Amino acid sequence: MIGLFGFYLFGLIVLLLVAVKSVVMVKPDERAVLFRLGKFVGVRPPGLNITVPFLDRVVRVRVDQINGHEIMSEQELIEKIGKNYR
C-alpha cells in the first residue's frame, strides 16, 4: 500500500512541476520571444502565457526602451523640448 501511495505522490509532484514550468508571466512593458528547440516560434504578449515545458525557451525583451533610448509620450516630449528652450 505504501508503494502505491509513493507512486501517486511522485506522479503528483511531476505533474505539479510541469504545470509550474509551463506558465510564463510577461510584464506589461515586456514581450516574450518564444523559441521551441532553438527555432523562433513567435512573440507572446503581456500577461499569462502557456509554454511547453522543457522544449520552449522564453526570452523577455523590454519594449519601453530601444537601443538604450527611452520611448516617451507626446506630452513628455513637449515638456522636454519646452525645458530646453526656456
- The domains of the chain are located at 2-85
16-36 pLDDT per residue, tens:
999 999 999 999 988 999 999
Listed in sequence order, the DSSP H helices in the chain are: 2-22, 74-85
Any residues with CB less than 8 A from the CB of 1 and at least 6 apart, and which? Answer: none
Q: Is residue 76's pLDDT more than 80?
A: no
For residues 38-44, give the mean pLDDT.
90
pLDDT range class, residue 78, cuts 50, 70, 90? confident
- Per-residue pLDDT, 66: 61
For residue 62, name the pLDDT band (cuts at 50, 70, 90): confident
